[in-house]
Structure formats: structure tokens, C-alpha cells
Amino acid sequence: MTTPSTIAAASVAAAADRAADRSLIVLDASSPDLCGLRNGARLPLAPINPGDDPLVAVAALLRSRVVAGHPIEVLHLVGHGRPGAIRLAGQWLDATALRASAAVLSGWSVPRIVLWSCQAGQDGDFIATLSELSGASVLATQEVLGHGAAQTIEGQDGEIHRLTDLFDRQALAD
């Protein structure tokens, strides 16, 4: 017999599966302290390795998902940060680097980008440039992120993104 709690649990599981199918974590694999997050990922994860052109690599990942019939709606970029920059593939990407890759970013075709990068949101020009060139709504924080620090980013639409939605607590603690 199906009970209301069984139906509710199935609905929650189905919603989580849909979110996972529409989301992608891109992780800077050049940072040893971030690589430990790989095993605790709760969503599909793709590492960007040193030597890769990070923006081209992300474009290829997004394109492959579209071709497979599973376009990404929320792209989570995880890398160390500083005001106005994120580090991916061992390279610092700032507004100047983004402008130099405008053609690549215009092909991303993703509605939302969440930057899990400490303090990257302190530079409005960086966020505005990424949003303009990619066509995405970009969320970032002005704070330090991680275990024992801020772990949420809230969009202007009120949607809250949690670091624990991306990675299990043990991976974050390690």
C-alpha cells in the first residue's frame, strides 16, 4: 500500500534527481585541497585540470550535455578566489581574461552560474562581465566560503544554494 509519506519521499527523490540532471560542478583540479571534494560530490562533477584552457573546457562540457539531451541549468564553479577573480585549471580568471574569451563564454548557454570562490563577488565588474558575456545570472559571495565559514549563496530571486547540496559534510570537513 502506498502511503502519503511514501509518495512524499518519492517526490523529494525525483526532485533531487531532476536537480542533479540539470546541474554540474566544475572543480579546479589544480588545487590539492579542493580535490578532496571529488569523492563527496552530490551532483555530477567535472574536474578542470592544470594546462586546460578552463573556459574552453567548460564550454566543451556544457556542449556535450546539450548534445546528450541534458542541458545544464545551474553551473557551479568551484575554485579558490579573490576579489574579482576565480582560479580554474591553475589560472586566475578576472574580468580582463573573461573579455579576452568573450566568444567562448557566449556559447556557454547556461541560465545560472554559481561561483563557489571566496570573495570573488567583491568586484561587481567581474560579476557583471561574466553575466554579460555568458548571458547567465551569476551568483557569488563577498565572503570566505567553506567548512567553518559561509556555506550559502542566495540569488536575487530568493533561491538559496548550499555548499552541502554540492558536497557531503565529511568531504567539506576534510
Q: pLDDT (tens digit, 9 = 90+) per residue, 80-92? A: 999 999 999 999 9
Q: pLDDT (tens digit, 9 = 90+) per residue, 92-134? A: 999 999 999 999 999 999 999 999 999 999 999 999 999 999 9
User: Whole-angstrom Cα distance, residue 79 to residue 152?
Assistant: 15
Cell of 114: 554559481
Q: Find out whether 31 and 78 touch, Cβ atoms under 8 Å.
A: no
Q: pLDDT (tens digit, 9 = 90+) per residue, 131-166? A: 999 999 999 988 888 766 668 888 878 888 998 899
- Of 48, 38, 33, give the one whose Cα is nearest residue 146: 33
Q: pLDDT (tens digit, 9 = 90+) per residue, 25-45? A: 999 999 988 888 988 999 999
Q: Find out whether 120 and 113 touch, Cβ atoms under 8 Å.
A: no
Q: Is 171 helix (H, G, I), strand (E, B) or coil?
A: helix
Cell of 129: 562581465
Per the prediction, the chain carries an average pLDDT of 87
3 state SS for 28-64: ECCCHHHHCCHHHECCCEEEECCCCCHHHHHHHHHHH
